Amino acid sequence: MLNAWTGAQIRAAEAPRLDAGAGDALMRRAAHGLAGAALALLDARRRPRYGARVVALAGSGNNGGDALWAAALLARRGLRPAAILVADRAHEPGLADVHAAGGDVVRLADDDASTDAARRLLADADVVIDGILGTGASGGLREPAAGLAAHLEDLRRTGVVTVLACDIASGIDADTGEAPGEHVTADATATFGGAKVGHLAGAGEAARGTLTVVPLGIEADLPDPDLRRLQTAELRALWPTPARSAQKYSRGVLGVVAGSAQYPGAALLTTAAAAAAGVGMVRYLGPEAVGGLINARTPDAVCSAQQPGDVHVQAWLVGPGTNDDEAQLDRVRTALAAAVRTGTPAVVDAGGMSVLPEQGAAHLVLTPHAGELARLLSDRHAADGAAVERSDVEARPLHHARLAARITGCTVLLKGATTLVAGPDGTAFSQADATPWLSTAGSGDVLAGILGAVLAGVAEHPRAFDDRGLGGDVRWAAAAAVAASLHGRAGRTAARDPEGTGAGGPIHATAVIDALAAAVRDVLAG
Ligand SMILES: NC(=O)C1=CN([C@@H]2O[C@H](COP(=O)(O)OP(=O)(O)OC[C@H]3O[C@@H](n4cnc5c(N)ncnc54)[C@H](O)[C@@H]3O)[C@@H](O)[C@H]2O)[C@@H](O)CC1
Ligand SMILES: Nc1ncnc2c1ncn2[C@@H]1O[C@H](COP(=O)(O)OP(=O)(O)O)[C@@H](O)[C@H]1O
Ligand SMILES: [K+]
């Protein structure tokens, strides 16, 4: 599990040490970690260490102190240090050490001469350490740092310099990952004491590069994390693997209300995905014509035009492709009412979100993309009557996912390059296992099917969640995170994009279904 905390949580754990006078010791530890990360970056890029130019960008706070001390330490390893001070004040001992190491220092102001001098230093740099703002910052970068950051990004994109963020890319909010304005983009980040929420959500995910956590010795005093990311070990433990004595009913029956005579595609994809994920049985409820099409692709699905009250299931999947069909929407309403009454978990996708019960529950998992979440929040007057736009959700995804979970009482899985899951109690997960090739029509229907299969298996495997501190209502958010991760991994496998960088090539939703078994096997094999 990769755990992440807010800046305030980390600073609170540090506070007793600072009060006891250990501030310098902590900062030196951070600087050593930063210096090691800078050397690793040079090595990875096959650039020689000796004579390499390291430039620390230093703001007024402790983040700047870390960067200055790191630059001074790197002078001892043969690098040529320099510093650009972007604020009126700088950490005095750090600055003194850069001077003592023979480093060039430029103080950036709003004039052409200092801007030119700073740009000359950057153009000569091999590695730039971004210590402008850390966890103590509020609001985005201001001038003159904002202009320097934009120029730095031009140099980074064209391969002139490598950027190492100190703690967090400056301009990214450590508590949310939001970027209120200009921000630094890093190739790597060395963070201290624990990952920050801002590394795993919003703009912060793409701005951080490779993340290294440098221990500070405060780890035992950290509270429960604010945000979590499941990794292979958790996925292996939580994926519904059949027991020796399993039979189809113990593995779980998934009731699916999806598609319509006019739009059967969503029903075909979502049932095929659930079947591929290894659910015990799929029971499809809907028009006979759609059932026939489903059986041509997925003969193992049991299709009928029955009502939800007539069948016994371990989980529901409702909503994909049902928008225009009143009879299907009626089935969705009935299934959701039964799910709330009986505690049966349900995936509520697409059209299902327009017929939510008044009182939701954590075991109902909504799966909106940013546009659908904006509509849901607008319908619920979340912004005091003002409409919430898709762009609002994209700019503040974690905030809006948590808001929707609180307002609806349901678990909310917000789809995107990073998928965020929020429970009504504020629990949150972040998974970024996808590939940009997954942004294709029908991809969401596949995710809904996989999630349905995972939810149907939860009842058989409660201990798996309890044993990892993910019991109670948190299990629904954790199960949603499992499904998002496997969906992303299947997408990477299908696209042949193992790192999720956008390498490989195009895929369509069916290819993701076909790659699912291999992705699950990889996870189970560790
Ligand atoms: N607290 C500690 O003991 C340790 C902290 N460490 C470092 O300290 C950092 C936190 O230090 P600080 O609390 O000094 O925070 P920052 O280094 O983020 O600096 C905050 C300072 O920047 C100014 N500021 C805030 N928002 C700004 C904005 N938008 N534009 C321009 N200036 C702005 C504030 O006036 C404040 O002086 C961490 O990120 C980490 O790098 C490390 O040295 C490890 C130990
Ligand atoms: N840029 C991206 N990078 C990675 N994954 C993405 C990206 N855009 C979308 N996805 C994933 O693809 C799926 C798209 O779902 P959705 O928008 O509901 O599509 P549809 O409604 O057509 O099925 C989601 O699982 C989402 O997380
Ligand atoms: K920084």
- If one counts the domains in the chain, the total is 2
Q: Which atom of ligand 1 is nearest to the CA of 216?
A: 44
Query: Both 148 and 247 in a single domain?
Result: no
- Contact status, residue 307 vs residue 327, Cβ threshold 8 Å: no
Query: Both 475 and 502 in a single domain?
Result: yes
Name 16's bridge partners.
Answer: none
Instruction: Report the distance separating Cα 526 and Cα 513, nearest Å.
Output: 21
Q: Is this complex's ipTM strictly greater than 0.85?
A: yes
CA distances from 364 to 282, 336, 337, 344, 346 (A): 18, 8, 11, 8, 5
Helix, strand, coil fractions of the chain, as percent rounded to 5: 45, 15, 40
Residue whose C-alpha is closest to residue 44's, from 212, 175, 198, 263: 212
Handedness of CA 274, 278, 283, 288 (dihedral sign): positive
> Ligand 1: does its nearest atom lie under 6 Å from the Cβ of 278?
no
The count of residues in the chain is 526
Instruction: Report the distance separating Cα 428 and Cα 424, nearest Å.
Output: 9
Q: Phi and psi of 244, rounded to 5°?
A: -55, -40
- Contact status, residue 177 vs residue 138, Cβ threshold 8 Å: no
Q: What are the pocket residues of ligand 2 if the criterion is a CB atom closer than 6 Å to any ligand atom?
A: 369, 415-417, 419, 434-436, 438-439, 441-445, 447, 487
What's residue 373's pLDDT? 98
Q: Mean of the per-residue pLDDT values for the chain? A: 96
Strand 411-414, strand 364-366: pairing: parallel
> Ligand 1: does its nearest atom lie under 6 Å from the Cβ of 453?
no
**Global pTM?**
0.96
Which residue's CA is the nearest one to ligand 2's atom 8?
439
> Ligand 1: does its nearest atom lie under 6 Å from the Cβ of 149?
no
Instruction: Report the distance separating Cα 4 and Cα 231, nearest Å.
Output: 13
Question: Kindly report the CA angle at 482 between 480 and 483, in degrees rounded to 5?
Answer: 65
- pLDDT tens across 57-77, in order? 999 999 999 999 999 999 999
Last residue of a domain, one of 182, 202, 229: 229
Residue 383 has pLDDT above 80, yes or no: no
Instruction: Report the distance separating Cα 186 and Cα 224, nearest Å.
Output: 28
Ligand 3 centroid distance, CA of 114 (Å): 21
Last residue of a domain, one of 186, 204, 229: 229
> Ligand 1: does its nearest atom lie under 6 Å from the Cβ of 394?
no
> What CATH code is carried by the domain that includes residue 112?
3.40.50.10260
Q: Phi and psi of 458, rounded to 5°?
A: -60, -40
Query: Both 13 and 62 in a single domain?
Result: yes
What's residue 461's pLDDT? 82
Ligand 1 centroid distance, CA of 59 (Å): 8
Instruction: Report the distance separating Cα 346 and Cα 366, nearest Å.
Output: 8
Query: Both 151 and 266 in a single domain?
Result: no
Q: Phi and psi of 365, rounded to 5°?
A: -110, 110
- pLDDT tens across 267-284, in order? 999 999 999 999 999 999
Our mutation pick for probing the ligand 1 site, out of 62, 66, 135, counting the most ligand atoms within 8 A of Cβ, is: 62
Query: Both 223 and 345 in a single domain?
Result: no
Q: Is residue 102 classed as helix, strand or coil in its secondary structure?
A: coil
Ligand 1 centroid distance, CA of 65 (Å): 9
Residue 180 has pLDDT above 90, yes or no: yes
Domain span at residue 273? 232-524
Last residue of a domain, one of 192, 212, 229: 229
Query: Both 238 and 206 in a single domain?
Result: no
